Amino acid sequence: MTDELRAMILGAGFAAQGHTAALKVAGVRVVAMASRTEAVCRQVAESLEIPTCGTDWRQMLADVRPDIVAVGTPGGTHYEMISTALEAGCHVLSDKPLATTAADARDLYQMAKQTGLKTAYAASYRYQPQTLYAQEIVAAGRLGEVYEAEFVSHYHWPSRMPFGWPHRLEDGGGRLNNNFTHKLAIAQHILGGEVLAAMGEARHDLKRVPVAKKVHDFRDYFNQALSPEEAEQCEWAEVTSDWGYTVLARIGSRDKPRDEAVTATFRHSGLRFGKNPDYVAVYGEAGTLHIEEAYTQGPMFLRIEGSDDWEELTIPQMIFDRLSDEDDPTQRNWNQLALDFVADIRGEGTPDFLTFRDGWIYQEVIDLIRSGSAWTPIAGDL
């Protein structure tokens, strides 16, 4: 391998564009992009100054022979694309979910482990400045012993947005795959542990949606929601993915008894706003930390035991200084993951980041929740 790293992007939508920009920030030359729709791929590739584009990703992978493959397609395509990239000797960055089942995610993790190739898993909101500061507060003992944590969100996704991959479990859709993964990553980072056991339920609150114009970019699903009159003129398709969930998890150290772990509650609805804002809260013997918004993007408040007041916290500048200089939170978090991933490929010192091991474990938890099982231990390795 030369000093210059070259990357190929699979997909041309929101995540693919974001990972392209992130890899460029990390000093990687993005040389190719493949997507299912040639005209869209060409347009996006030109806008991002990617010299090679097309629809035959297998042939392109063989021709280009990149060092890195970034997978930004819906989750139903991941197993085939990632396994092929690993067989070709490429390091792989994958958006979430890693795969649509725990068995497939386990195979991908095992394959990567056997090859020794580097991997990254983009449940990337663990890099939020609020998350990083919360982790420092907990680690410093300002809350005392932590007892429990809550991660609550209610998103008002349009019930008449056009039928597409978010509605199909087999294509990687569902709120567990695409919302819970971020929240679990945030929880683990703040609490400093791993998922030791979990239980819960997945809900199919959305039953059917209209079939309309095909949507290429994830962001356009919201913009292209149909009116009631337009939807009446359409065929309707069954929704197979989950649109709500309730999860209980025990997060802690594998070297300690499970009853010493923190109980974390995750609740989500994809169809209705709540009266109160989404939030993350951590409760300890000495105080409570509260962060507005589900992905810790809002103000932070601390209340110490014995006080009647909530103190609004200011995130230290040094936390921002450690992160990529980018105003958009999603892009900044992708940038930081790419920087850590590429540093690891180059053999340089790097902080912890999520890999295919995490992607596999997360899918084990998701499969468990979808089964409706009672408390079940979660394995930490193969």
> Hey, what domains does the chain have and what are their CATH numbers?
126-311+368-377 (3.30.360.10)
Residue 199's pLDDT band (boundaries 50, 70, 90)?
A: very high
**Distance separating alpha carbons of residues 270 and 174, to the nearest angstrom:** 9
Q: Write out pLDDT tens, residues 138-170.
A: 999 999 999 999 999 999 889 999 999 999 999
Q: For the whole model, what pTM was predicted?
A: 0.96
Closest CA to 160 of 258, 242, 236: 236
- Across the chain, mean pLDDT equals 96
Separation CA 378–CA 56 (nearest Å): 38
pLDDT computed for residue 1 by the predictor: 43
CB-count exposure of residue 292 (10 Å: 0-12, 13-18, 19+): middle
Structure confidence by residue, pLDDT tens digits, 70-116: 999 999 999 999 999 999 999 999 999 999 999 999 999 999 999 99
Q: Both tokens of residue 271?
A: 């169809």
Which residues make beta-bridge pairs with 283? 148, 288
Beta strands of the chain (E only): which ranges? Answer: 6-10, 29-34, 52-54, 68-71, 91-94, 119-121, 146-154, 194-203, 208-211, 235-238, 244-252, 262-269, 279-284, 287-292, 300-304, 311-313, 376-377
